[in-house]
Amino acid sequence: MRTRHPICLVPVHWTQREVHAHSCSDGSHIHITYAEKRQLIAQGVVDYLVYPRVLRLTRVMPLRGLSAKTGEYLAMQLYDGAAWARTMLAHMLRSASG
């Protein structure tokens, strides 16, 4: 089935083992679009865990206007799939591209 958000964005501590241990519907990670994937890679905050569909956050998110601590906290929220973190990520992507 096609989805609007075809790319998996998984926590930094995940390995390929965790990828196989979870499903996309269990809320263990979030999903992003191809456009978001390109932007995150350009910002250097993610790397490939399973090419080309599964991206993993790098430990520190060097995002403009965010301290490393905030970035780590955000990453932790992303791990939990928190809706506000997803919204904030979308906002940061807009800021970065604008």
Binding to Zn ion in span 16-45, by CB under 5 A: 24
Distances (CA, A) of 41 to 50, 80, 83: 14, 21, 22
Gyration radius (Cα) of the chain, Å = 12
Residue 21 beta carbon to Zn ion: minimum distance, rounded to whole angstroms: 12
Choosing from 8, 19, 55, 63, the residue that interacts with Zn ion (CB under 5 A) is: 8
Q: Is 82 in the site for Zn ion (CB under 5 A)?
A: no
State the DSSP H helix or E strand holding residue 26, giving kind and residue range, or none if neither: none
Binding to Zn ion in span 50-79, by CB under 5 A: none
- Provide the β-strand partners of residue 47: 56
Chain positions contacting Zn ion, by CB under 5 A: 8, 24
